Chain A
Amino acid sequence: DTGVSQNPRHKITKRGQNVTFRCDPISEHNRLYWYRQTLGQGPEFLTYFQNEAQLEKSRLLSDRFSAERPKGSFSTLEIQRTEQGDSAMYLCASVIGGPEQFFGPGTRLTVL
């Protein structure tokens, strides 16, 4: 499979726990984006990387959120001390050159 992959597909956690999601972009895609989608809404931009550099972060990305892309390959999104408001679908997209984005299947987070 040469598409964008995300793991896990579903995550249920208790409030206050830390969670980490992984995104593997399409091979050789140099840009990687994270979006968050809450129920009934369109996806909202969180952050993006060009290779290993994180170039922009949305105001939605509070201090409890951190994203990395070591070596410019896969990326991780960590949420510390989860809150019920963090429940959402977390989507990853990758781009080669630009600008057409290709999305992964998403990670659905439920915070109890």
Chain B
Amino acid sequence: GIQVEQSPPDLILQEGANSTLRCNFSDSVNNLQWFHQNPWGQLINLFYIPSGTKQNGRLSATTVATERYSLLYISSSQTTDSGVYFCAGGTSGTYKYIFGTGTRLKVLA
């Protein structure tokens, strides 16, 4: 089955810093989402991005489907950005997702 690798596993930033999170897939996926898991455990949708680039405020994401990776950019980080970021991918049909193990981000004031 598809394997999803996320890097870095842990990241500590000072408030205001920028960061890049990466997600690699072992095989091609047709569907890809980035999520932020808040301290209470809920997964918040950030981007649905099987290919191309999207931006939403301080966050943006780029997926290069032909090379099987996706990047999440966080600019001018805030303490509220802390939490775990997951990418998840899947193929057409069932749309079930395979998740990575996440990047744990802590933003210090």
Contact = CB atoms under 8 A, between A and B. Distances in A.
Given A42-B88, A99-B90, A100-B48, A31 B42 contact: no
A95 interface: yes
Contact of B99 (A40, A43, A55, A104): A43
A99 B41 contact: no
B40 A105 contact: yes
Interface string A37-48: 100111111001
B54 interface: no
B96 A102 contact: no
B96 A91 contact: no
Contacts of B42: 103-106
Contacts of A33: 96-97
Interface residues of A, number: 27
A89 interface: yes
Given A42-B88, A43-B43, A99-B92, 16 more contacts: A35-B99, A42-B86, A42-B100, A42-B101, A44-B99, A48-B94, A55-B94, A91-B43, A93-B43, A99-B90, A99-B95, A100-B31, A101-B33, A101-B45, A102-B45, A105-B41
Contacts of A101: 33, 45, 95, 97
A56 B86 contact: no
B96 A108 contact: no
24 contacts: A33-B96, A33-B97, A35-B97, A42-B4, A42-B102, A43-B88, A43-B99, A45-B97, A45-B98, A48-B96, A55-B94, A91-B43, A93-B43, A95-B95, A98-B31, A98-B95, A99-B48, A99-B90, A99-B92, A101-B33, A101-B45, A102-B45, A103-B45, A105-B41
A35 B99 CA distance: 10
B41 to A, nearest CB: 5
B62 to A, nearest CB: 18
